[in-house]
Structure 1
């Protein structure tokens, strides 16, 4: 992915050269020459991924180029760091990298000159070998162009399924026939055929939900352990046991299931030794019509696990019509699946034919075409590349891998870097979107665009991969916002191969630029690894890292580390000692300490992290205060201190962080806390787009601070909680704390008043699209909530949760919210005539035209 590396470096270099720093000016000529040479090569490098698979000579050339770019990037980073030190400690002629002054500068300049000479030689070799002329190559724009960001938000509804209705019906009928013992059903077929989708459709079916009293979904990776399987089953049953042995875990499962009708799905099972399953199966209660569904690529697997031949289902390839329908639904999602360009239809159908009826291949190719311009020559180019990839072998599996490879080749450079990040996560891992986006920002994978907030651009990158169907949605919020995802195991195979080839991530951990933070991490992969750029916690859900002392002591050895995420970790050595060492990582841009215990306070050494852009200390329940020096982190864009139960307030001066875009868990200081940050300081955070705030006392809002939020023009999301509040005066204050008019989403939690805030109305919030109200004492809405004859809400998604006193009629809500399409209402018994699902339960999620849990 040398084109991605070059794009990232060029963008960093452009920004650095524009800073006019004193140290950089000493090497400006060399950096500008480097910039010029790389710009000339950029157009050729766009297609280099495809070419190097067939040209071994080119592979060697690109490896050399990649290493030179990384070295130049490290030199640039050191120069920028020295420039910052120059500003802080003006001591004249300072060195860039080496400890001595003039000799150090001489060495830096000499090395930059050598890098330039080698890159010039590489350019000449490419020109000679491929007959390419670089003299008149057009200059490429930095980052992404308009076409690569054609859809910057999710367009395709990933819940739509095509052509599997018969498969679903067949498996459901078998389940309804179960009586004695445990019925075992197998779903068998090649990767990408839709086995998991069929099982998921059955598992989430409303009839199946009503038929079974307990349901468990277990993703069985190729490297699973019996203990992991048991813990996953227990988590499905609401038990997060961590300390029991296998026998005790199985006994607990038995107690939860005894006398119940249950369904277990074992998804994607491999292997030949099934003693683990025999032990689990033996410990399960029998009868009551309980069932197990097993999906696998191997028929012998489901047979050995108990599926009889007449209860093994083989999904078929999609028919030609269903294949075209699935492709249209994705490729033309913006026009609701309708192809409005007749000249593209024949090309599209030939592309679909190459996919051989494999749903995964069709989805990925459809997602790729969704993000391409609707022009004949562009579509024809894609088809020609597809033909070329399949020239030697045109079978189904080859077609699947060709479609995945083609989709990767056609990614914009910045999305290639983002996509390869998935290589670090273990198989079947549920991945946080937030962690991905923060990582991408920390490593500068997210392209900068004029006027665009970086956190918003990072979420656009996530949408770019989602729309291309390269990642799969796992969990969404009530309004459809994705917050966790995963990737198909066939996609993961491709990601791992490319990451290995490009030294992005190596599974053996040697000389990797990116590593996953797990309990098995070996300290030798950190010591002496000056290539390492990112080290991140990649544990599965509900698991924690247990980090050995030797590994913890080596965490800060890689001096060019940009990204460090040690969340959900338990250390054998002192956490304060580790944090002291982190202060030496002056290139660090993203630090995640979420869920680390016992984090009580920050050491002084962290004050050195002047390049920090993202700091996450969420779920640190023992953290009592944030350090005062945090207000000196001028580059900080994200500060997350949510769910820190012991945190009293934020430090005074927070309003100086003018680049802050996301502030979560903010607690304003009371009048008795002079060193704390008052809510009025938020007025200065002009770039703030996401804010969550907890207000518990009236004196946290001064009379001159009630307009603290109203002028935050970039604010799109506001969460306001009054948990553990005290005093009726608070209601009066909050009632005056009006949010800005352009707010898109509001979450109101634990509001203490019986009547909703006066500003919660369609005139004060004219573009509000998503509203969530949970817990608290609200019994009725203020009269202004219902608008007037000329004003209605633009709300599309609504959630009411745990509002025991709120009484409102559905028909009245419909009248003032004509755009409403999603309703989630639960634990609110006084709501009248709200939509009820087929099984008779009030609440859950309702969508226009359908019922969905």
Structure 2
């Protein structure tokens, strides 16, 4: 992916030259030469990158170029850090003209001249090899049009052509009576086995029929204990310290006397001894069933599946293939092909997919993000034909083409998936923070990094390269995963391009594992990112020696230690983390034991993201964090022992996301008061934790009105006390441009007066969960002069909410999605789905 590496480096170089930092300017001529050479090469690097798969010589040339770019990027980073050090020392005359600085400049200039010479030679070699002239780089069509599809436009829950398959499996389940019915779904990868199993698993009739349901992703790498822990997690039991016998006994206790359904997804192992042991411990009867999806028929047979209960998915028909493609490729127009000249080309592309759903999704997602011109579609169709001629695996050919056609910045983002284990559920925030930290995301002038990161994630989602796992009530993706065949492709590309791989001593991006080789990490001068990639319910146990070793990686940009247990106290390690001058993203979320963050973090002048969420023992943050001028994300949510944040937080003028902010009371002189938030003018997302009225001064009730870019606001009053907080909250004034508001544990029986369509005219998403709310303020219903624009609504765990649902629905005529649960006094709430103008109204049945 040398073209993507060049793109990322040029973005960083252009920013550095514009900032005109002291040391960068010292080598401005060399950096300018480097920029000019690389910009000329961009015109043919994409073609060279595709051709290198067929030619070892070209592959070797591009590999050398990529290493040179990485070396130049390291030099640039060193120059920027040195500039900051000099600026920090500017007040000290004795440090302004250090002889050591002068001595360092000579080898740096020499290295840059060598890099420029080698890159010029490589440019000539590639140009001669491809027989193409040097051309000025043309803007990518995808880059020009990306803003049109930067938001999610395709509903991934839609399936085509699986209705009969789903009904067939459901009928078998409902016929089950004695023993434990085993149903097998057998077929090649990409046929839709897992999709069908999911449709059955989440079907309302199936939910009502079974008292317990468990979904287990088995995959190629598993062990018996992991399977049982996964089963228990779906039953709500963490079971961290139990052995296998105790785990199986617990499973039996949960299922005894119950009708249950187990889905064992993607089973590979012909050795079924693990299953026989689990099977023997499961209660039988009551119509309980198991569904097994596998590519190997013998696997299903060994797990007890008979021929009469074996389902073999078929390829989609021509009509269903075209329908699936249309739904994706023309999602922006509701699945309708409004460009007649594209229909013939589209059907030609679909015909090459031979009815394989995964291939159709891949090419459909790719075409969704292309310009609607017949010349562009014809180019893709020709490239697909060529790819199929070179690759007899239809799915891999379609996925490779989809990767080749990604915008350059998305290639880097996509390859990040290569370090995650099979069937790993990945949080969107970790990915977006990683992309920001490594500079993979291009930023237009005035564009917020977090917003651009969300768009990059949507770009991969729209191309059907990411599978959505979990969403919030309003449809925003929270977690995701990738299909195992997509993972095979991304691992191969990442290994070929030295992005990541199995060798801890030379990979630039690594997953933090308990068995990671500490010596290899210490000698790995290339390492850019080290991230925790644990599966649900798992933790990393990291030895102190390994922890100290990764502090030796001087060019580390991204360090995510989340969900890790350290065998010694973290303080010593974190003191060493302060030596990582290039670090931009640090996550200590859910690490143990973390009591305090040391002052050494003030040395991380490049830090943009700091995540210490879910650290229940964390008592304080040092005042030095207020000097981290580049900080854009600060997450201290779910830190129960943290009383306040340090005074001076208002200096962090680049802050875009602040989660878990607890204002200091007047008696807490070293804490940050609410008034300081008014200086954070770039803040986009804010989570406020309020417990008593003293935390809101009389002159602070309007402070949020100063936050002109705030889009997402959460106010949580967990553990609140005193009637004065209710009084202060009622006077609170959120900014009128809010897009989403979430109220948690609201202490008053009457809703706040400012929760009305006049004060919040742009509000689209509203969630109210837990608390004492019984009635909405009268202004909430003031729809005679102004109507709500709310599209998605959630009421959850509001046991006292005593309102008439028809009034709510009348006040919010634009509702698309409704989620209501545990609101027993909400009158006349409908149980069945209701159709209404503008679409389908989705909701959850109330649980009483």
* Fold shared per TM-score above 0.5: yes
Q: Specify the alignment match of 2:827 in structure 1.
A: 832
Report the CA distance shift for 1:692/1:392 in structure 2 as closer, same or farther (over 3 A).
closer
CA gap 1:8/1:95 in 2 versus in 1, 3 angstroms: farther
Question: How far apart are 1:371 and its partner, in Å?
Answer: 0.3
1:568-597 superposed Cα distances (whole Å, 9 cap, x missing partner): 000122211111110110100000000012
8 Å CA contact retained: 2:818, 2:843 = no
Contact 2:738–2:760, Cα closer than 8 Å, also in 1:
yes
Aligned to 1:341: 339
Kindly tell me: are residues 94 and 139 of structure 1, through their superposed partners in 2, closer, same or farther at Cα, counting changes over 3 Å? Answer: farther
Call closer, same or farther: CA 1:34–1:94 in 2, change over 3 Å: farther
Q: Which residue of 1 aligns with 2:175?
A: 177
Show the counterpart of 2:636.
641
Tell me the distance in 2 between the aligned counterparts of 1:261 and 1:707.
55
Distance 2:651 2:328 in 1: 45
Quote the residue 2:243 is aligned against: 245
Q: Cα–Cα, structure 1 residues 281 and 766, in superposed 2: closer, same or farther, change >3 Å? A: same
Tell me by how many angstroms 1:94 deviates: 7.7
Shift of 1:93: 10
How much does 1:629 deviate? 0.5
Are the aligned partners of 1:564 and 1:588 in contact in 2 as well (CA < 8 Å)? Answer: yes
Q: Which residue number corresponds to residue 480 of structure 2?
A: 485
Structure 2 residue aligned with 1:13: 13
Distance in structure 2 (CA, Å) of the matches to 1:352 and 1:617: 47
The answer for the alignment partner of 2:368 in structure 1 is: 370
Name the structure 1 match of 2:648.
653
Matched, 1:357 2:352: no
Task: Report what 2:587 is aligned to.
Answer: 592
> Secondary structure of 2:552's match?
coil
Gaps of 5+ in 1: none
Does residue 1:379 correspond to 2:374, yes or no? no
Cα 1:238–1:101, aligned 2, differ >3 Å: closer, same or farther? closer
Equivalent residue runs for 1:483-562 within 5 Å: 483-562=478-557
Match of 2:626 in 1: 631
* Displacement after TM superposition at 1:393 (Å): 6.1
Equivalent position to 1:817, from 812, 819, 823? 812
**Poorly superposed stretches of 4+, deviation over 4 Å:** 91-96, 140-144, 849-853
Contact map agreement 1:586 1:611 (CA 8 A) in 2: yes
Query: Are the equivalent residues in 2 in contact too, given 1:82–1:94 (CA < 8 A)?
Result: no
1:102 matched to 2:93? no
Please give the residue correspondences for 1:225-236 in structure 2 after superposition, counting only pairs within 5 Å: 225-236=223-234
Structure 1 residues 827-850: Cα deviation after superposition (integer angstroms, max 9, x where no partner): 111101112148xxx9xxx98356
1:246 Cα offset (Å):
0.4
The Cα of 1:599 is off from its aligned counterpart by 1.0
Q: Deviations over 1:220-276 (max 9, x none)?
A: 021101000000000111100011110110000001001111000000000221100
Q: SS of 2:143's equivalent?
A: coil
> SS of the residue aligned with 2:746?
coil
Give the C-alpha shift of residue 509 in structure 1: 2.7
The question of 1:713 aligning with 2:708 is answered yes
Query: How far apart in 1 are the matches of 2:297 and 2:99?
Result: 65
Query: Offset at 1:95?
Result: 10
What is the alpha-carbon distance in structure 2 between the residues aligned to residue 753 and residue 9 of structure 1?
Answer: 53
Q: How does 1:282-321 map to 2 (within 5 A)?
A: 282-321=280-319
Pick the aligned partner of 1:666 from 661, 668, 676. Answer: 661
Q: Is the 8 A contact 1:664 1:693 kept in 2?
A: yes
The equivalent position to 1:217 in structure 2, one of 215, 238, 252, is 215
Preserved CA contact (<8 Å) 2:632 2:654: yes
**How many Å apart are 1:763 and its aligned residue?**
0.3
1:95–1:101 Cα contact (<8 Å) kept: no
- Name 2:402's counterpart in structure 1: 407
- SS of alignment partner, residue 799 of structure 1: strand
Give me the whole-angstrom Cα distance separating, in 2, the residues matched to 1:309 and 1:29: 73
**Are 1:439 and 2:434 an aligned pair?**
yes
* Kept after mapping to 2: 8 A contact 1:552/1:573: no
Change beyond 3 A, Cα 1:144–1:17: farther
Provide the C-alpha distance between the structure 1 equivalents of 2:442 and 2:47, rounded to a whole number of angstroms: 20
CA distance in 1, matches of 2:793, 2:190: 35
- The alpha-carbon distance between structure 1 residues 850 and 112, as it changes in their structure 2 partners (threshold 3 A), is closer
Between the aligned partners of 1:223 and 1:183, the Cα distance in structure 2 is 26
- Partner Cα distance (1:283, 1:747) in 2: 44
**Given the two structures, how large is their TM-score scaled by the length of structure 1?**
0.97
Counterpart residue number, 1:611: 606
CA distance in 1, matches of 2:193, 2:412: 29
**DSSP 3-state at the match of 2:741:** strand
- Cα 1:206/1:198, change in 2 over 3 Å: same
2:44 maps to 44
Quick one: structure 1 residues 99 and 469, their matched pair in 2 at CA, closer, same or farther if it must change by over 3 Å? farther
Contact 1:386-1:406 within 8 A present in 2 as well: yes
Deviation for aligned residue 1:40: 0.4
Question: Hey, what's the Cα distance between the residues in 2 that align with 1:282 and 1:668?
Answer: 56
SS of residue in 1 equivalent to 2:43: helix
- Partner in structure 2 of residue 76 of structure 1: 76
Q: Write the deviation string for residues 388-409 of structure 1: whole angstroms up to 9, x where unpaired.
A: 1112566xxx221111000000
Q: Partner of 2:451: helix, strand, or coil?
A: helix
**1:701-727 alpha-carbon deviations (Å, 9 max, x no partner):** 111111110121100000001111121
Counterparts of 1:144 and 1:679, CA distance in 2:
43
Shift of 1:129: 1.3
Name the SS of the counterpart of 1:198 in structure 2: helix
Greater alpha carbon shift after TM alignment, 820-829 vs 323-332: 820-829
Distance 1:608 1:508 in 2: 30
Structure 1 residue 515, shift from structure 2 partner: 0.3
Alpha carbons 1:466, 1:472 under 8 Å: kept = yes
Of 617, 621, 638, the residue aligned with 1:622 is 617
Correspondence 1:261 to 2:232: no
- Where 1:705 maps in the other structure, the secondary structure is coil
Distance (Å, rounded) in 2 between the aligned partners of 1:3 and 1:140: 13
Match for residue 757 of structure 1 among 740, 752, 756: 752
In structure 2, distance between residues paired with 1:387 and 1:393: 10
Post-superposition shift, 1:510?
Answer: 3.7
The 3 A distance-change label for structure 1 pair 140 and 507 is same
